[in-house]
Amino acid sequence: MSCFLKSPPTFRNEEFIRKSHNTAIIQNADILIPKEYNVVINLSDYENIDLMYYNKRQFSAYHGVFTVDELNKLLAQIVKIAAFADHGKYILPDYIKNYPFLYIIDQKLMD
């Protein structure tokens, strides 16, 4: 019998895996997001800050999504928005999915 038993997953291990996965994606936002899109939504807690920190581009990144009223104001200004695909509790509502200037980032963040 081996004295090296595999540890059961802990919150700390799971958090490290999640954070490592998401940071790898966020650090490549300059490549993943087309140049004309500088507003990014549907990020998990504090990952909006990570996205703005790790990239050379001047992204405006937001935790969660905009309200209908906020989105209508952005539509009036023809603001292009990039959004991370649905992940965990961060599900894009239909009014966001129907926004005409939306780019869905083809990478799935972990929760």
Q: How many domains does the chain have?
A: 1
The arithmetic mean of pLDDT across residues 30-55, rounded, is 96
Would you say residue 43 has pLDDT above 70?
yes
pLDDT of residue 13: 87
Phi, psi of 24 (to 5 degrees): -60, -40
Q: 79-107 as b/e, with b when 16 or more CB fall inside 10 Å? A: bbbbbbeebeebebeeebeebeebbebeb
Would you say residue 16 has pLDDT above 80?
yes
In a domain, 40, yes or no: yes
User: What's the pLDDT band for 111 if we cut at 50, 70, 90?
Assistant: confident
In a domain, 60, yes or no: yes
Would you say residue 4 has pLDDT above 60?
no
Q: Which domain holds residue 47?
A: 34-105
Whole-angstrom distance, CA of residue 59 vs CA of residue 29: 9
Q: What one-character DSSP code corresponds to residue 105?
A: E
In a domain, 97, yes or no: yes
